[in-house]
Copies of this chain bind each other. A is one copy, B any other.
Amino acid sequence: MEIDSLGAMKLSVRGEYALRALLVLGRDYLEDDSVVRIQAISDQQHIPKRFLEQILNDLKSAGIVESKRGVAGGYRLHKPPDRITLAEIIRHIEGPLAPVSCVSEKFYEKCSCPDESRCAIRSVMKEVRDSIVKVMEHTTLADLADRARTLEQEPLSASDFMI
């Protein structure tokens, strides 16, 4: 293999930060209009603050979060956490969930293979896509927050060190 080893089907750091930030907002979500400061998220999740600004701003334009300015300002989810799926978040931040664009539902692009409609690779990639989407569409920020709460209460198991 090359020196790089960056990874094939990988989330960018930006996408990872987005998920981490939204997990915080999902956990702290209340029906009133309380907000969480960027600085708090940045501290808690070790995310560069200025970079996080951009990401949250981006998520705002997607209608996923909303913001309040001023001295008591900050961010909150724009809709309840059980109505925000991981698929929605990642599609906005990164684009297609599919491993190749020719099997993407939302971002289809023709590929360069000789006959796309009879491409065996494409047909396997469709399976991969479906299995990724199944998890991502099914999991909401509320699920994530629940899971986080559960994990916090559990003792550390040895099997969690290396997987």
A residues at B contact (CB < 8 Å): 1-2, 4-12, 15-16, 19-20, 23, 44-47, 58, 62, 86, 90-101, 103-105, 107-108, 111-114, 117-121, 123-128, 131-132, 134-136, 139, 143-145, 147-148, 151-152, 154, 156, 160-163
Contact = CB atoms under 8 A, between A and B. Distances in A.
Given A15-B8, A131-B134, A92 B1 contact: yes
Contact of A120 (B16, B47, B147, B156): B147
A147 to B, nearest CB: 4
Q: How many copies does the complex hold?
A: 2
Contact of A151 (B120, B126, B135, B145): B120
A62 B1 contact: yes
Contact of A9 (B97, B108, B127): B97
A44 to B, nearest CB: 7
Given A23-B120, A121-B20, A107 B8 contact: no
3 tightest Cβ-Cβ pairs between the two chains A and B: A8-B94, A131-B131, A120-B148
A97 B8 contact: yes
